[in-house]
Amino acid sequence: MDRLSSGAGPLPIVGKPQLPIGQFESRPGIIDLGWGHPGPELLPTAGLGQAAVRVLERYGPDALNYGYAGGPGPLIAWVCERLCEVDAVAPTPDCVVASAGNSQALDHLATLLTAPGDVVLVEAPTYHLAVRILQDHPVDLVPVHADRFGLRVDVLAQTVRRLREQHRQVRFLYTIPTFHNPTGASLAKERRRELVKFAETEEVLIIEDDAYRELSYDGAAPPSLWSLASPGAVIRLGSFAKSLAPGLRTGFITADAAIAGRIRDSGLLDSGGGISHFSSLMVAEFAATGEYARNVEKLRRAYTERRDVLLTALSQELDGRATWLHPSGGYFVWVTLPPGRDASALLPQAEANGSSYLPGSTFYLEAGEGLRSLRLAFSRYRPEELVEAVRRLGRILGGPTARLGPAAV
C-alpha cells in the first residue's frame, strides 16, 4: 500500500497523545482475558484497505453518497448467499437489512418495537453490554435462567405466564443461542425447537443475537432460531464484528418481510440513507473476492487453537480447583470456582498476579448471582499468553477441593 501514500510525503502527526484510538486498555504486566476482542493480528488490515479502494473504483461517488435505506444491494445479496452456507435456511433479500453491528441493531429494535413499560426478557447470564443498551430504553428487564444447555424453556414459559397474570406486556426475548456470551454454551437442538414453538404459540418475539455463528470450531454451527421459526417469530442479528472487523461497525438483520420493511422505513435509516453505507460496501467487496470466506477459515483455525490451548491449560493448572464449559465456538470459556469462592473478590489478587477476567456477576441482572463464575476470553491473546494467564490464575486459587460441583450457569 506504499504507492498510494508515498505521493503525500511523510505521514503527519494527528491527534493529541492523550486521546485514545481504541477501546482496549493495555495494563502493563496483566494478561487480561476480560476483553472479548479479536486478536489484532487476526484482523485483515491489508485486505480491507484494498477493499476500500476497490469499492471506490467500482461504485465511484455512489459509495460515498446517501445509501439505500436497507443497506447496499451487493451486501444484502451476498448475505443471502453466505447464510445459505452457514445456516439451515437462507433469507430472501427483502428479509435482510444492513445494520451498524448488533449493538446498533438491538438499540434500534428496542426503539422501534417496544412501548414504555414493556417487559424485555433476557437470559441469566447474558451479554452485559446488551443489558446496558436495553436499559437505556424505558422497558423493564426480566431474567430467565439458563443452564449449560442454554436457556431453560420451561422457566421461560413460567416467567411469561407469571408476567401475563400481572398484565405485563412481554415485548421480546433477547437471547444468544449459539456460542453464548458469556458461557460459550449453545442451546441444545431439542430446546431450539421447543423455544421456537413456544415463541410461535405464545407470540413472544425472539431477538436472536447470532454474532458468533461464523466462529464454529467443532463442525457446523447449529441452525439459527430464525431458520427454524415461521416468519415473524424471530429477528436475527448477524454481525461482521467477530467474523471480520469490529471497527467497520457492520452487520445485518434477518427478519420477516414486514419487520424488515419497518426497519428500512424507520426515520433513522430513511433519513441517514442507510446505516453504515461505505463500510457495508467494503464488507461486500471483501466478500466478493472470496477473502471473507478465507478469512473466516483462518479465524476458525486460530481460535480453535486458542480455545484448545486454554482448555488444556485449565485442565493442567486448575483441575480439581475449578470446572468449566467446553465451548464449540465463539470467544469464551465459562469457569466456575468451588462453592464459597467469589470471583469478584478474587479479582484484585488475580490482577496483582498478572491476569484478569470478567467476574460472573457482571452477566446477571440480580445481585448475588454468578458469584463463583468468571468469563475468560481466548480471542485476543496468543496461545503462549493464554497458558501464562491460566498459570497465574492457578497461583491464586487454593488447593483441590472435594466440594467442586459441575460448572454452574
Least Å distance between CB 105 and a copy of itself? 10
Assess contact for 373 and 339: CB atoms under 8 A. no
Tell me which stretch binds a copy of itself (CB under 8 A): 50-58, 230-238, 312-320, 357-365.
50-58
Please identify which residue in 112, 141, 155, 157 interacts with a copy of itself, judged by CB under 8 A. 112
CA distance 240 to 159: 33
- Residue corresponding to grid cell 491476569: 355
Please identify which residue in 27, 29, 45, 316 interacts with a copy of itself, judged by CB under 8 A. 45
* Burial of residue 155, with CB atoms counted within 10 A of its CB: 0-12 exposed, 13-18 middle, 19 or more buried: middle
Least Å distance between CB 287 and a copy of itself? 8
Determine if 288 is a binding residue for a copy of itself (CB under 8 A).
Answer: yes
Determine if 398 is a binding residue for a copy of itself (CB under 8 A).
Answer: no
Please identify which residue in 34, 143, 177, 246 interacts with a copy of itself, judged by CB under 8 A. 246
User: By C-beta, is 23 or 166 nearer to a copy of itself?
Assistant: 23
Determine if 368 is a binding residue for a copy of itself (CB under 8 A).
Answer: no
User: By C-beta, is 3 or 403 nearer to a copy of itself?
Assistant: 3
Least Å distance between CB 361 and a copy of itself? 18
List the one residue out of 165, 59, 160, 172 whose CA is nearest residue 112. Answer: 172
- Residue corresponding to grid cell 438499540: 107
Determine if 72 is a binding residue for a copy of itself (CB under 8 A).
Answer: yes
Buried b (16+ CB within 10 A) or exposed e, 89-112: ebbeeebbbbbbbbbbbbbbbbee
**What order of strands is seen across the sheet that includes strand 332-336?**
323-324, 332-336, 373-377, 358-359
DSSP lists the bridge partners of residue 253 as 97, 237
Determine if 52 is a binding residue for a copy of itself (CB under 8 A).
Answer: yes
CA distance 269 to 280: 14
Assess contact for 196 and 234: CB atoms under 8 A. yes
User: By C-beta, is 169 or 315 nearer to a copy of itself?
Assistant: 169
SS3 (DSSP) at 32 = strand
Least Å distance between CB 278 and a copy of itself? 5
User: By C-beta, is 198 or 292 nearer to a copy of itself?
Assistant: 292
Q: Give the single-character DSSP code of 362.
A: G
Determine if 367 is a binding residue for a copy of itself (CB under 8 A).
Answer: no
Please identify which residue in 29, 85, 111, 406 interacts with a copy of itself, judged by CB under 8 A. 111
Residues numbered 251-280 forming contacts with a copy of itself, rule: CB under 8 A: 266-268, 270-279
Calculate Rg over the CA atoms of the chain.
22
Least Å distance between CB 194 and a copy of itself? 29
What are the backbone angles phi and psi of residue 272, rounded to the nearest 5°? -85, -10
Cell of 146: 439458563
User: By C-beta, is 69 or 311 nearer to a copy of itself?
Assistant: 69
Residues numbered 119-158 forming contacts with a copy of itself, rule: CB under 8 A: 129-138
User: By C-beta, is 365 or 396 nearer to a copy of itself?
Assistant: 365
Q: How distant, in Å, are the alpha carbons of 35, 63, 69, 250 from that of 73?
A: 34, 12, 10, 14
Q: Binding pattern to a copy of itself, positions 198-237, x when CB under 8 A?
A: ----------------------------------------
Least Å distance between CB 92 and a copy of itself? 11
Least Å distance between CB 9 and a copy of itself? 9
CA distance 45 to 150: 35
User: By C-beta, is 85 or 342 nearer to a copy of itself?
Assistant: 85
Assess contact for 372 and 341: CB atoms under 8 A. yes
Please identify which residue in 30, 32, 33, 78 interacts with a copy of itself, judged by CB under 8 A. 78
